[in-house]
């Protein structure tokens, strides 16, 4: 049987904890070591795990490895998706791209820029909404700053409609269909952008994990 506590990158084996044949007891420092290595492979040698992000990483890792005890302590529901919020350049997108790799046996999610969804609607119309209202797992990147949707003169808040579709899916499937997102906006800005109905659905769809609003821009 494959050992989910071990991951091989570039011929080197990394251990994320101990596997007893049934479950993995994860070791957080070992996960961080692996994320540092994988991050450099994905994003280049300048990538690194920042000390000030350890609290966020602990929450995210606890969610992805389904550590119920830690998730309960952080008030994270493992059936919901993640809404990762924080200022521009704090590393939200990189972390959501990266964290998929610590759980290679779990169903992966696709990273989809929200602007691509809006452009898709402007080109193809409502088929775009239907396409994302399917049973795939997605992480919608940069929620709230996508351009307005317009198709044959009809304006539409495209991502708002996609989130409503994803919410219906989440409610009506036995094995919860996961939706994740990243955003630079705070709760009030999201409500202003999408309205109260979508915002209330988002509370049921997502766990909110937020960087400190003073988090620096790591791209500088």
Task: Give the model's pLDDT for residue 219.
Answer: 67
Does residue 117 fall inside a structural domain?
A: yes
Does residue 158 fall inside a structural domain?
A: yes
Measured distance between the N- and C-terminal CA atoms of the chain, rounded to whole angstroms: 44
Task: Give the model's pLDDT for residue 1.
Answer: 42
Does residue 142 fall inside a structural domain?
A: yes
> Residue holding tokens 């992480």?
139
C-alpha R_g of the chain? 18
Residue pair 63/81 in contact (Cβ under 8 Å)? The answer is no
* Residue ranges of the chain whose pLDDT lies below 50: 1
Q: Could you tell me the CATH number of the domain that includes residue 100?
A: 3.40.50.300
**Looking at the 3D structure of the chain, how many domains does it have?**
1
Does residue 4 fall inside a structural domain?
A: no
- Reduced to 3 states (helix: H, G, I; strand: E, B; else coil), residue 158 is helix
pLDDT in tens, 47-59: 999 889 999 999 9
Task: Give the model's pLDDT for residue 216.
Answer: 67
Does residue 62 fall inside a structural domain?
A: no
């Amino acid at each position: 049987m494959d050992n989910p506590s071990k991951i091989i990158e570039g011929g080197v084996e990394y251990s994320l904890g101990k596997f007893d044949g049934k479950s993995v007891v994860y070791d957080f420092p070992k996960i961080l070591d692996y994320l540092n290595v994988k991050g450099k492979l994905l994003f280049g040698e300048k990538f690194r795990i920042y000390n000030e992000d350890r609290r966020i990483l602990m929450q995210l890792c606890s969610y992805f490895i389904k550590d119920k005890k830690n998730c309960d302590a952080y008030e994270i529901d493992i059936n919901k998706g993640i809404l990762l919020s924080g200022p521009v350049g704090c590393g939200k997108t990189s972390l959501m791209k990266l964290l998929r790799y610590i759980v290679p046996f779990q169903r992966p999610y696709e990273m989809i820029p929200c602007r691509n969804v809006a452009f898709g609607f402007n080109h193809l119309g409502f088929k775009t909404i239907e396409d994302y209202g399917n049973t795939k797992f997605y992480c919608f990147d940069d929620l709230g700053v996508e351009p307005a949707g317009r198709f044959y003169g009809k304006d539409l808040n495209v991502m708002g409609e996609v989130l409503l579709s994803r919410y219906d899916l989440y409610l009506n499937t036995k094995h919860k269909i996961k939706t994740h997102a990243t955003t630079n906006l705070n709760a009030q800005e999201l409500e202003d952008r999408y309205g109260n109905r979508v915002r209330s659905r988002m509370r049921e769809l997502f766990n909110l994990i937020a960087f400190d609003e003073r988090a620096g821009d790591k791209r500088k």
